[in-house]
Amino acid sequence: TTKAQAARKAAVKGTNSHKAKKVYTKPKFFQPKTLHLARTPKYERKATARFATLDQYSVLKQPLNTETAMKKIEDHNTLVFLVDVRANKRHIKDAVKKLYDVDAAKINTLIRPDGLKKAYIRLPADVDALDVANKIGFI
C-alpha cells in the first residue's frame, strides 16, 4: 500500500516540482560527459575499400637514361630511377628486389626542382648494373 500511496502522491503533486538546483563552485563550466554510441550505418558510404596505392609498380616510375645516369651505371654500378614522391628508401629497396630480383646496397634519393623524386640505387659489387639495365631494357 505504501507504493500505491507514493504513486498517488506523485500523480497529484508531480515528480519534477522539487528538483534540486546544481550549485557550481568553480568559475568554469565543463560540459558533462554523455554516452557516445558507436555508429551503426544503414549502408556503406564507400562502394569499395581503397587498396594500397604504393605497390612495387607505382613506386618505381621509370628508369633515367641520361648521359649522367649512363655514366653512373658504368662507373659506379648504380641505377637511376624516377620514383613516387611518397616512397621512402625502404619502399624503393623492396620494389627493386621484387621487380628485378636484385638487392640494393645503398639508396640515395633527392627531389628534383620539377617536383619528381629521383633515386640512385647502388648495387652490390657481385651484381653488374649494366646487366640489370639490359634486363630492364633501357640500354
Please write the tens of the pLDDT for every residue from 26-72: 899 888 899 999 999 998 888 887 777 888 999 999 999 999 999 99
Confidence of residue 105 (pLDDT cuts 50, 70, 90): very high
Proportion of the chain above pLDDT 90, given as a percent: 67
Which residue do the cell numbers 507514493 mark? Answer: 6
Strands, sheet with 106-111, edge to edge from the N-terminal-most edge strand: 60-63, 78-83, 117-122, 106-111
- Specify the pLDDT at position 101: 94
Confidence of residue 17 (pLDDT cuts 50, 70, 90): low
Q: CA 132 to CA 74: how far, in whole Å?
A: 12
- Which whole number is the average pLDDT over 103-120? 97
- Specify the pLDDT at position 53: 80
Q: CA 87 to CA 90: how far, in whole Å?
A: 8
Cβ-Cβ contacts under 8 Å for 87 (sequence gap 6 or more): 54, 59, 95, 117
Does pLDDT of 14 surpass 80?
no
- Find the helix or strand (DSSP H, E) in which 38 lies: none
CB 133 within 8 A of CB 69: no
